[in-house]
Amino acid sequence: MADSWFEDAIAAAVAPQLPGLAVEVVDEIDSTSSELMRRARDGRIQPTLMVAKRQTAGRGRMGRPWQSAQAEREPASLTFSLGLPLMPRDWSGLSLAVGVSVAESLDPSNAADVALKWPNDLWVNERKLGGILIETAVPQDGIAERYLVIGIGINIGAREGTGMSTAPAWIAQWRPDATAPQLLREIVPPLVSQVLLFGERGFVPFAERFAARDLLRGREVQLSDGTTGHCEGVGWGGELLVRTASGMKTVTSSEVSVRPRAAG
């Protein structure tokens, strides 16, 4: 059925800020982010929202796979990528800003406790609800702007945590009737406007909003290089601030992973 994913409504909602958004819903693809990156490298840089009902090679951060939840009839995960040309003065903090936008759309009053785990995870009740993968491509024709691809995966229906490094949470735990198309429609228009805001003003307008949902602030954390310390939140550029035995450490690399340490 045409428009069953609200394609036209989404394109119309973002048109004042981002005219000409192509909305594509595909039954199956390797990865929506891989596809938009391939296109961008070929010079195809039209703003595009690509949603997949199923990904066969979904990717997460640091080369990890991203596996959607399986369901008989309708997608139990929402998996999509938004691609658009963007040229902020500073890219630092973009994944945090995207997280803020998505968390606020999913949980406007913070009643469900959707938290943000630096740099790019959505967590609920100490479990992972979703993830964000930020990539950029420099189009072949060498135009000045980069093409930004924001990939987002969110668990909607119940799923097994077997083999996952973090146990999963899912939207149906507090919104049992939520569907993937509905959530897409709620998430994408604010996301477009917040990404454009980031393009103009960087992370500053997001810093306090991130702090309000910061999962790690005030907790003992461990970085992937083994460093441990007390998390003091994030700075104005989105960097993670960790007080360690040898002083304050600022973590900027998206290649660093950080985990809350178990209490006690």
Binding of residue 31 to ligand BTN (CB under 6 A): yes
Binding of residue 99 to ligand BTN (CB under 6 A): no
Cβ contacts of residue 233 below 8 Å, gap of 6+?
Answer: 211, 214, 216, 217, 218, 241
Q: Are 191 and 150 in contact (CB under 8 A)?
A: yes
# chain residues binding ligand BTN, by CB under 6 A: 20
**Residue least distant from ligand BTN (Cβ):** 131
Binding of residue 75 to ligand BTN (CB under 6 A): no
* Residue among 81, 101, 136, 194 that touches ligand BTN (CB under 6 A): 81
Q: Are 178 and 184 in contact (CB under 8 A)?
A: no
As measured in angstroms, the least distance from the Cβ of 66 to ligand BTN is 4
- 119's tokens: 């740099």
Cβ contacts of residue 108 below 8 Å, gap of 6+?
Answer: none
Which of the ranges 38-46, 61-69, 90-98, 206-214 carries the binding residues for ligand BTN, by CB under 6 A?
A: 61-69
**CA end-to-end distance (rounded Å), the chain:** 54
Amino acid (one-letter) located at 66: W
As measured in angstroms, the least distance from the Cβ of 193 to ligand BTN is 20
Ranges within 125-144 binding ligand BTN (CB under 6 A) = 131-133
* Residue among 9, 24, 44, 60 that touches ligand BTN (CB under 6 A): 60
Binding of residue 59 to ligand BTN (CB under 6 A): yes
Binding of residue 151 to ligand BTN (CB under 6 A): yes
Question: Which DSSP category does 56 fall into?
Answer: S
CA distance 134 to 122: 14
Binding of residue 105 to ligand BTN (CB under 6 A): no
Binding of residue 33 to ligand BTN (CB under 6 A): yes
Dihedral angle at the C-alpha atoms of 54, 55, 56, 58, nearest 10 degrees? -150
The residues of the shown chain that bind ligand BTN, judged by CB under 6 A, are 31-33, 55, 58-61, 64, 66, 79-81, 121, 131-133, 151-153
